Amino acid sequence: MTIIETPIKDLLIFEPKVWNDSRGYFYESFSQKTFDEAGIEAVFVQDNQSLSQKGTLRGLHAQSAPFAQGKLVRVLQGKVIDFAVDIRKNSPTYGQHFGIELSGENHKQLWIPPGFLHGFLTLEDHTIFTYKVTNYYDKASEIGVIWNDPTLNIDWAAHLDAGEFLLSEKDLVLGDFASFQSPF
């Protein structure tokens, strides 16, 4: 597995070696040894999975301590544009975001440590998104920022017409980044 650094410290791309033949493919989707060698101290406690139609936008979310989560995200089927926003107050990249296309074809994964908001936009119908997390879900610890915040300036529409976005009621009422008080 190849580990690729992003412009934001600690946010990493994992690109597995995929073996293809006439039967299909095989790859190692997770190895604790690879995480250990990368210096990532993570113990995963739960796997989550969602099925979404084209245009579904989920985010931007995180959980505050003591339920902060690290996430290893990937797509099993379909395609997304995935974004992480650095909300670590002492980070030189505070408020900056990184986006990557994850798909059932490219098999790439993104490691998002605690201290980041996370969101994704599905680019195909029947997209299956899955992620391993380092802490359990806790509703009282949920934090977030509205998906179209002008300060963050994430260009979701570069990937799909904004008129096609499907959002939850919860995601439509999140606050803006200017008033966001990061707990990290």
Show Cβ contacts of residue 181 under 8 Å, excluding neighbours closer than 6 positions: none
Q: How far apart are CA 163 and CA 181, in angstroms?
A: 30
Question: How many Cα atoms occupy the beta-carbon half-sphere of 169 within 13 Å?
Answer: 0
Question: What backbone phi and psi angles, to 5 degrees, belong to 149?
Answer: -60, 125
Assess contact for 102 and 80: CB atoms under 8 A. Answer: yes
Task: Report, as residue numbers or ranges, the catalytic residues.
Answer: 61, 131
**What is each CA distance from 102 to 32, 60, 74, in whole angstroms?**
21, 17, 6
Question: Do 74 and 132 contact (CB within 8 A), yes or no?
Answer: no
Distance CA 46, CA 79 (A): 22
